[in-house]
Structure 1
Amino acid sequence: MPPLTWTNFAPPFSVYGTSPAGGYTRMPFAASTLSAEQPLLSSELLGYGRDPLAPVKDAITADGDLTIPIDAEAFGFWLKAAFGSPTTTGTSPGPYTHTFQSGNWTLPSMAIETGMPEVPRYAMYSGVMVNQLSWTMQRSGLLTASAQLVAQGETVASSSQAGTPADIALTRFEHFNGAITRNGVALGNVISAQITYANNLDRIETIRNDGMIDGADPTIAALTGQIEVRFADMVLMNQAIAGGPCELEFAYALPSGESLTVTAHAVYLPRPRVEISGPQGIQASFDWQAARASSPARMCTITLVNDIEEY
């Protein structure tokens, strides 16, 4: 399968449900379950014997997950889809700082095409929006994220509808580039950390003659996760008992200057169960939740530094 292709976000490509004729960018990905399905409804009618009548088609559902690398350039497209347009500062030739904030009511939609040239089958998905973006920080392995997508529909053709997509440089972050701080101080004894941002999209399921949705509205967002730590001090436990918030920062930085920083401004921790299961070190898991802070008056801020002038 060739790489995934994605539209630019510039007008008029932001029209929901419209796939533009050009302006696509080739995107790196590792796996995809993005597809459309239309189930059949069994006939409930009686009086025609024991053999059932023909089934009827139900509504179309187009959604799925993409496994994508967390890199210095392409990941900015996913951040824009999840959080909305960033505020960008910097001058040519860069670097540029892109600042994304939670709380936007208007999120962009995309057109995504996946291709299987050997068949041939090229599937174009219009009205694609990011419902959830999640990844795990750990000591080793490949650093990837999962993007949960909701689309309006699927159009299948025997040739590509994306034209000649633009290419971008792939500069990946690695796990050993990562760091976690709490209130500006490095947080030690962390074994792994999981981060999930959800837009909790509400599908607009109006009556249409094509069986597709009219759109997807963002509802109350959520920023949650889990921190697995070696139980070596009482820093997080004391916060959980007291009930107050802290600021957590999850960051990656490359020696060449590119960086990605996710700051949750008001994180609340539950009081976890601490178990002694054997002679190994004792671990504790904190299923944290972020909320809107008083200053700044938002839940999270994401800063991406790279050489891309505009998303």
Structure 2
Amino acid sequence: MARAQGARAQMAFAFETTYGTPPTGAYTKMPFASTSLGAEQPLQTSELLGYGRDPQAPIKDAVTADGNVVIPIDVEAFGFWLKAVFGAPTTTGAEAPYTHEFRSGNWALPSFSVETGMPEVPRYAMYSGCMVDSLNWQIARSGLLTATASIVAQGEEVATSTAVGTPTTIALKRFGHFNGAITRNGANIGNVVSADLTYANNLDRIETIRADGKIDGADPSIAALTGNVVVRFADQTLVTQAINGDACELAFSYMLPTGESLTVTAHAVYLPRPRIEISGPQGVQATFDWQAASDPIADRMCTVTLTNNREEY
């Protein structure tokens, strides 16, 4: 008897033309590290009296389909997730390399379908009407560079055979922490120990009354770009900015020797005044929990620029 193994799991991804309707083709095989994406339907305990101490049979509640997918931040496949988060990019370049610019603030975000497969069981779960609620990752000195996409889906359909045919494969080429840099107003920030950032669409589920218990969709509300930067306390630059209430531009970038790059630019970042603690003889660190806002000059909160050899997303 075959048993499910994560090492043999597969994931295919395709954007939808109609919300909640999985495409019949044009799927792409996506790299991923783990996923908690799934559907659940809780039971409502019977409240009825008069039948003795033993309860009556429970009834089914509404279906909830959501979860997280941990994905590598790579040169090509990551662009599909960026499109799901920000909407279609503006692409420039007559030939490779191409520059894809994703901008925050879009009201119309694309939905997509994801199929996860365990061929040895066999079990193939199709999640339709998927939208990305948030995307976050950590920046460190070493380790594997991955991001976590939090997904809201309409529903799950399980089958014993795949519905995606033969998906298109992508040559995996990953960015690493070693390729990263953080700048403030165009200049490198020194003494950074770690950082993280989260972009949230803050999706509002449309929970209408339906016979199948699924949602009708998910609308984006006010977006948010937040994070923190942990620095070795060496000067007063960031503290002074926090006290004055000024905004700065923070850019988180990765570049490979072969020319591919990824840059996340938060155009107007505000810093809170941090507590500076001396906890022992070691170096003193300060944590700045920053948040971004719309910049009147850029007319948006953030821009993500991905440069690679893919012509379009």
TM superposition score normalised by structure 1: 0.98
Letter in 1 for 2:84: A
Aligned to 1:63: 66
- Find out whether 1:105 has 2:107 as its counterpart: yes
Q: Helix, strand or coil: the match of 1:72?
A: coil
- Find out whether 1:3 has 2:10 as its counterpart: yes
Distance 2:236 2:173 in 1: 38
Give deviations 1:250-309, integer Å, cap 9, x for gaps.
000000000000000000000011110000000000000000011111000000000010
Aligned to 1:242: 244
Q: Helix, strand or coil: the match of 2:279?
A: coil
Distance 1:74 1:14 in 2: 20
1:2, CA displacement in angstroms? 2.8
Distance 1:3 1:235 in 2: 47
> Quick one: which of 131, 142, 148 aligns to 1:146?
148
What CA RMSD, in Å, does the superposition of the two structures yield over aligned residues? 0.6
Give deviations 1:160-195, integer Å, cap 9, x for gaps.
011000001111000010000000111111000101
1:31, CA displacement in angstroms? 0.3
1:14, CA displacement in angstroms? 2.5
Distance 2:194 2:83 in 1: 26
> Quick one: which of 227, 230, 236 aligns to 2:229?
227
Contact 2:10 2:118 in 1 (8 A): no
Aligned to 1:131: 133
Q: Helix, strand or coil: the match of 1:310?
A: coil
- Find out whether 1:196 has 2:198 as its counterpart: yes
Contact 2:274 2:287 in 1 (8 A): yes
- Find out whether 1:82 has 2:82 as its counterpart: no
1:87, CA displacement in angstroms? 0.1
Aligned to 1:262: 264
Aligned to 1:167: 169
Aligned to 1:19: 22
Give deviations 1:204-230, integer Å, cap 9, x for gaps.
000000000000000000000010000
- Find out whether 1:38 has 2:41 as its counterpart: yes
Distance 1:43 1:142 in 2: 48
Misfit runs of 4+, over 3 Å: none
TM superposition score normalised by structure 2: 0.97
Give deviations 1:41-89, integer Å, cap 9, x for gaps.
0000000000000000000000000000000100000000000000000
Contiguous gaps of at least 5 residues in structure 1: none
Aligned to 2:282: 280
> Quick one: which of 291, 294, 298 aligns to 1:292?
294
Letter in 1 for 2:12: T
Distance 2:235 2:158 in 1: 56
- Find out whether 1:157 has 2:181 as its counterpart: no
Letter in 2 for 1:51: D
Distance 1:31 1:296 in 2: 36
Distance 1:232 1:250 in 2: 21
> Quick one: which of 41, 51, 54 aligns to 2:54?
51
Aligned to 1:206: 208
